[in-house]
Amino acid sequence: MPELSLKRLEQILERIGGMRALVIGDIMLDRYVWGLVSRISPEAPVPIVDVHEETCRLGGAANVANNIVSLGASCELIGVVGEDPSGQELEARAREARIEVGTLVHDPGRPTTVKTRVIAHNQQVVRTDLEAKEEVVGKVGKDLLDTVMDCLGRCDAVVISDYGKGVITKGLLDNLIPRARSQQKVISVDPKETHFMNYRGVSLITPNQYEAGGAVGMRIHDEESLLDVGWKIVEKLQTDALLITRGAEGMSLFQKDGAYSHFPTVARRVYDVTGAGDTVICAFTLALSAGAGMDEAAHIANHAAGLVIRDLGTATVSRQALVDSFRDRGSPTMDG
């Protein structure tokens, strides 16, 4: 597969700069507790972490929105937060990142999702999750759907970030997908395996290989099983494109017209894959909405993924970092 030219990349990124995206999904606050381990607890066979620092980052759908802004587009974020200090902190950090959060829906009976990771010597020791997984229903569910429909007309692309925390429901998808397609919007999904069959008709779906295999009751273990799983999903969902991310093996693109492409990873080292899926779907969706072809969008997403997995924790990719990544690869041959 020929590499995308630097000139063509810059053209696509320039168009992305004038775009507006809508992100819908499960919003989270990622907390990190940093420290060192020098002894084992006398109370139980567990390490004692001497805490040196605590930090917070945007997680889940909020990290998707953060990636969109980092790539130069504007973004409205729709999801549910609790009326609690974590929700306030999440909104404040999103505003600092230039994400539009006036579209967030508040639920006083639901906690803001918080994932806390304890890191010692650059390795995760334990993670704790504070969350509610029940589907958003009643007045909050109606407010959520109304907000989505109100925002749809003023966006160029829609990204659904489904972490299975209750925001993405069959009812929401049944209303959103046909409306978005009728308005000729690119609508993409970072999926949850249990909701797979509800995504029928989207432009793009980006499961990892475990989610993809689980969706059709198979395990991907070689090229033959990969192709079998991929084409089964395309047929079942009638999606324009399926991008299966495969970790160190790169990513594989299946298109509705029967085209198939594989993109080997460009990562020089893999440090942490947290949030890599968020970066992939943002880069692909924005590129596609900006006029890139499917293969071009996959090239860009592949480079973005190779950059983000070099950092510990949820991370984003800037436009300049993408340009530098393509420049460093050398020998650009796909003409723009």
Which sequence positions are flagged as catalytic?
278
Chain centroid offset of residue 317 CA = 12
Task: Say how far apart CA 52 and CA 163 lie, in whole Å.
Answer: 30
Sort strands 186-190 and 20-25 into parallel, antiparallel or unpaired.
Answer: unpaired
Neighbours of 245 (CB within 10 A): 26
Given a contact cutoff of 8 angstroms between Cβ atoms, the answer to whether 93 and 58 are in contact is yes
Task: Say how far apart CA 98 and CA 70 lie, in whole Å.
Answer: 9
Given a contact cutoff of 8 angstroms between Cβ atoms, the answer to whether 262 and 250 are in contact is yes
Instruction: Look up tokens 């420290």; give the residue.
Output: 35
Neighbours of 326 (CB within 10 A): 22
Task: Say how far apart CA 285 and CA 205 lie, in whole Å.
Answer: 10
Sort strands 260-263 and 251-255 into parallel, antiparallel or unpaired.
Answer: antiparallel
334's tokens? 């796909």
3-state helix, strand, coil in the chain (%, to 5): 40, 25, 35
